[in-house]
Structure formats: structure tokens, C-alpha cells
Amino acid sequence: MHLREKHRDRIHALYGEGHNQKSVAEVLGVAPSTISRELKRYGKKTWRYSATRAEKDAQEKRTHSKCAGMKVEAYPELKERIIRELKELRAPDEIAGRMKKENLAVRIGTNALYKWLYSVWGQPYCRYLCTKRYRRKKQKQTMKREMIPDRISLKQRPKRGEHAEGDLFVSPIKIGVQRSGALICVSSVQLLAGRMIENKKPATMARAVSVRFVPVSPSGTG
């Protein structure tokens, strides 16, 4: 939800009287996360929330914001490439990633590409997406994510041996029967392997990525 001046006035009054974010959100009829994002823009230690300043900042941001899809429509060659790769069933993330890797002078990021797709200019090409979605999916409030216990960073991995990274992918429910698969990548040898798995259980995923890679000598004799 986009907050208006009347909303910011009430936030200013309620928050100034000591109400917490949850109670302010209930009064305004918005999600608590909306209030949280609004207040986080202004440091509590250095400056108290002010509806006047918040509204001024919001108006300035809207004035300088670009229309979704403006960059794509401004560069015909960029638009032609995006449409061609969408028709080849490439994902927006892949399209944007390739442009970045090729260091193109005119390119677009993943978020901007999705904005163009969900705009009036890009919607005709949403049918090439695997999700077949024509508008941004509304985000649900999720529980706080928990980190893996005893997890170490990639920089702290032992230098000896081969190191691989695995991930789980799931097909859209709309295609009928939902299918799952496991991917494993060994960057040192530029190897990407995958296999279908029967379910998304952690134990099943662990078995799928428990693969030993036999190093091959430069001569190819093993």
C-alpha cells in the first residue's frame, strides 16, 4: 500500500504518543511491515519521525522515479533481445545475468526486467514465463528465517578437495503434478549436474547431492 499525506499525519500523531508499530498499523488498516518500512527511513536517534518531511521525501521520490519499462522501450535493440530470449523460454534472471556477464553497455537488471514484463508494454510476453503470471505475486507475511546451525562461510571452506554447491528447484503447481529436482555445481571444474527427486524432504535432497566426483588428469586418462 502507498501511504498518503493523511496516513503520515496519523503515523506522526500515534507514534509520537508512544503507540507501537502494530497498533499504528491496526488503526490505519495496513500491514505492520508498511509502518516499519516508513519509520526505518528515518533514524530514531538522530531525528524524530515527521509527517511533513516524510511526505516531502515521498513526493520527491515519485517525481524522480522512472516509469516501469521506460529503459526497455527506449532501446529497440535491448527490447528485441529480451523478447527473443523470452520466446526461447529463458528466465528473466538468466536474461539479465547474461547481459551483465557480457558487460553490455546497455543492459537491464532482473527487477527492472520484471517491472517491464508486468507493465502494459511487457504483459503480452508474460505468456513465455514458466509461471504464466501477468502481475507481481502478492507477498505473504512469512515467519522469521532461521540460519543453518554451525554454518561456515564460503571463505572458510578447506582448500583441499573439490567443493560443490547444491540447490532444490520445484516446478510450478499450475502445470499439474508438481515435480522436484536437485542441482549440484562444482565451480572449479565448471560442472553442473542435476537429477529429479521424488520429494522435497531434506533427507531426499541430501542423498541426491551426495555424489563423489573423480578427478580427471589433463591427459584424460584418469
pLDDT tens, residue by residue, 23-62: 888 888 888 888 888 877 765 544 567 777 777 777 766 6
Which residue type sits at 138?
Answer: K
Choose the weakest-confidence range: 141-150, 154-163, 202-211: 141-150
163 SS3 class: coil
Q: Provide the pLDDT confidence category of residue 135 given band limits of 50, 70 and 90.
A: confident
Q: How far apart are CA 134 and CA 7, in angstroms?
A: 30
pLDDT at 46: 45
What's the Cα-to-Cα distance from 210 to each of 88, 138, 198, rounded to whole Å? Answer: 32, 36, 16
Cβ neighbours, 10 Å, residue 209: 17
Strand segments, DSSP code E, in 81-143 are none
Angle at 162 between CA 157 and CA 168, to 5 degrees: 80
For the record, the C-alpha cell of 17 comes out as 504518543
Give the helix/strand (H/E) hosting 37: helix 32-40
pTM equals 0.44
Q: pLDDT tens digit string along 182-219?
A: 888 887 778 888 888 888 887 787 777 765 444 444 44
Mind listing the pLDDT tens digit for each residue in 89-134?
999 999 999 999 999 888 888 888 998 898 888 889 999 998 888 8
Please indicate whether residue 2 or residue 180 has the higher confidence score (pLDDT): 180
C-alpha 137/C-alpha 144 separation (Å) is 20
* Chain segment 210-219, per-residue pLDDT in tens: 654 444 444 4
Q: Tell me, what's the pLDDT at 23?
A: 86
Nearest Cα to Cα of residue 182 among 145, 210, 157: 210
**Domain locations in the chain as residue ranges:** 5-64, 70-128, 163-209
